[in-house]
Amino acid sequence: MEHRALSRLAVPAAAALLALTTACTAGTVQGRPGASGLRDPYFPKAGNGGYQIEHYGLDLDYDPADGQLDGTAVITARAEQGLSSFNLDLAGLDVEGVTVQGRGARFNRTGRELTVRPATDLKKGEVFRAEVDYHGKPKPITDADGSHEGWITTADGAVGVGEPIGSMAWFPGNHHPSDKATYDITLTVPKGYEAVSNGELRSRTDSADGRRTEFVWHSPEPMASYLATAAIGKFKVTTGRTPSGVALCEAVDPAEAAASAPALARLPEIVEWGSRRFGPYPFGTAGAIVLPAESLSYALETQTKPVFSGAPDEKLVLHETAHQWFGDSVSPKSWKDMWLNEGFATYAEWLWSEDHGGTTAQQHFDAFLTGDTAVDKDAGSDWAAFPPADPPGAKDISEAPVYYRGAMVLQRIRQEVGDEKFFALLRGWAADHRYGNASTADFTAYAERTTGHDLKKIWDVWLYGEGRPGQPSAGHP
């Protein structure tokens, strides 16, 4: 995501469950309820315990004329404990019915929690299939920092964007980045609209009466739910490939096509450059979705196709594409680890500039230390307001220290260990944690182990220290 400041439960009691809909076979309870939240430091209710989702099959029918969404979510998951009930995150929308393992399940709603009681308890290790039928007019969710996410209507359609918890506005799931899954997303929209999602387009089919079009998208690599997207509009869609063969798909609002063209023309080069700097591009496809201007107050690194609100510039395309390695393939274990997304993507901007004859990473670093906005216009931000690995609260996870001081942490490592070990560290981190989740503690341990350097002072001063760190005296590259 771009820097927003610059652009932008307890489980219900058994008695409540017994008052629900579909009948359930009585019997001895072997499991226990799954937790209704994962106790994330900033979003404690996000996600759910007791299971991990392996696959989402979403079948969505949307009409921009009335804003109605009709959906079926087929969720394949593995029970990590014996489960008498489990929760899914879902904001708004009306649930018509739920089945688990093909049998009707009781369910109820409390706030943003959908609690499901299977007809029989699920055993630890059991792979189960839950199907949820739902409908309604999805709404945006307001973040702690005041920005909007979830399901956003645009000038000619809508878009689903999810960071940090907005995906629950358009499909039920385990909406925490620590639970990654593969996806198949089918979007049916009125004829004349394009419907774009993550991954590759498997098919595009017009209905027999010619009034609607079905788009089937497939994402074979694991994805955190906040990176899922569905964009409906009158897009101009173009396809191609990078020199190394990565498939490209760009969906651009026609009014933004001319202004977007220069930056999007660099996308193949950006993907190839990133593959050299950070290791092989982690997905089978790359691309972009450009919405009508002012649809959102930020850009977002939705997996394989970042979403831009209006025409992006080269720097923004670079930033969101860098997230495909750092944030998308390697995802945070919790939202406290956000600097592993944004600090790395910001540092990628600095490297791109350095590698293309512009301002070097060290010059960016120095500019922030001195507040030299002539070198970097963002150097005047309050980048030292808090430690990047310890934002004060949920509203701060997209603030300047997470981006700029996070990038400065990486430059300090480079100063300490030298270029050879530093760039090996970046490539190794992306490779060894590919398609997984990682925490700040994972990174600090990995950095010390792979470089062979004691970096405790950097962690203490730059990553966790309060106040404004000073400039190292000498010896940096």
3-state SS track over the chain: CCCHHHHCCCCCCHHHHHCCCCCCCCCCCCCEECCCCCCCCCCCCCCCCCEEEEEEEEEEEEECCCCEEEEEEEEEEEECCCEEEEEEECCCCEEEEEEECCEECEEEEECCEEEEECCCCECCCCEEEEEEEEEECCCEEECCCCCEEEEEECCCCEEEECCCCHHHHCCCECCCCCCEEEEEEEEEEECCCEEEECCEEEEEEECCCCCEEEEEEEEEEEEEHHHCCEEEECCEEEEEECCCCCEEEEEECHHHHHHHHHHHHCHHHHHHHHHHHHCCCCCCEEEEEEECCCCCCCCECCCCCCEEECCCCHHHHHHHHHCCCECCCEEECCHHHCHHHHHHHHHHHHHHHHHCCCCCHHHHHHHHHHCCCCCCHHHHCCCCCCCCCCCCCHHHCCCHHHHHHHHHHHHHHHHHHCHHHHHHHHHHHHHHCCCCEECHHHHHHHHHHHHCCCCHHHHHHHHCCCCCCCCCCCCCC
- The predicted model scores a pTM of 0.93
pLDDT for position 21: 39
Structure tokens at 421: 């070990």
Output the CA–CA distances (angstroms, integers) from residue 185 to 152, 160, 196, 200, 230, in the order listed: 18, 12, 9, 10, 8
> What share of the chain has pLDDT > 90, as a percent?
92
Instruction: Confirm if 118 and 105 have CB atoms less than 8 A apart.
Output: yes
The residue whose two tokens read 């595009």 is 204
pLDDT for position 15: 35
The Cβ of residue 319 has, within 10 Å, a number of other Cβ atoms equal to 25
pLDDT for position 2: 76
Q: How far apart are CA 294 and CA 315, in angstroms?
A: 18
Per-residue pLDDT tens digits for 133-167: 999 999 999 999 999 999 999 999 999 999 999 99
Averaged pLDDT for residues 244-271: 98
Output the CA–CA distances (angstroms, integers) from residue 74 to 44, 60, 186, 339, 355, in the order listed: 25, 11, 12, 33, 45
Instruction: Confirm if 207 and 214 have CB atoms less than 8 A apart.
Output: yes
Instruction: Confirm if 116 and 105 have CB atoms less than 8 A apart.
Output: yes
Per-residue pLDDT tens digits for 397-428: 999 999 999 999 999 999 999 999 999 999 99
The confidence band for 30, taking pLDDT boundaries of 50, 70 and 90, is confident
pLDDT for position 1: 84
Q: How far apart are CA 377 and CA 384, in angstroms?
A: 16
Tell me how many degrees the CA angle 134-139-144 measures, rounded to the nearest 5.
Answer: 125
Instruction: Confirm if 133 and 116 have CB atoms less than 8 A apart.
Output: no
Per-residue pLDDT tens digits for 288-342: 999 999 999 999 999 999 999 999 999 999 999 999 999 999 999 999 999 999 9
Q: Which amino acid is at 335?
A: W
Phi, psi of 294 (to 5 degrees): 70, 15
pLDDT for position 4: 55
Residue 6 has pLDDT above 70, yes or no: no
Structure tokens at 128: 């189960």
The confidence band for 22, taking pLDDT boundaries of 50, 70 and 90, is very low
Residue 475 has pLDDT above 60, yes or no: no
Q: How far apart are CA 164 and CA 394, in angstroms?
A: 10
pLDDT for position 455: 98
Averaged pLDDT for residues 233-262: 98
Instruction: Confirm if 1 and 166 have CB atoms less than 8 A apart.
Output: no
Averaged pLDDT for residues 456-477: 78
Round the average pLDDT of the chain to a whole number and report it.
Answer: 93
pLDDT for position 471: 56
Residue 81 has pLDDT above 70, yes or no: yes
Identify any residues that bridge with 215 across adjacent strands, giving them in sequence order.
187, 204
Per-residue pLDDT tens digits for 43-62: 999 999 999 999 999 999 99
Instruction: Confirm if 217 and 255 have CB atoms less than 8 A apart.
Output: no
Q: At what angle do helices 314-322 and 339-355 cross, to 10 degrees?
A: 130
The confidence band for 185, taking pLDDT boundaries of 50, 70 and 90, is very high
Q: Which residues contact 88 (CB under 8 A, 6 or more apart)?
A: 48, 75, 113, 114, 116, 130, 132, 172, 173, 174
Averaged pLDDT for residues 425-450: 98
Residue 29 has pLDDT above 90, yes or no: no
pLDDT for position 470: 75
Per-residue pLDDT tens digits for 368-392: 999 999 999 999 999 999 999 999 9
Structure tokens at 208: 């027999």
pLDDT for position 7: 36
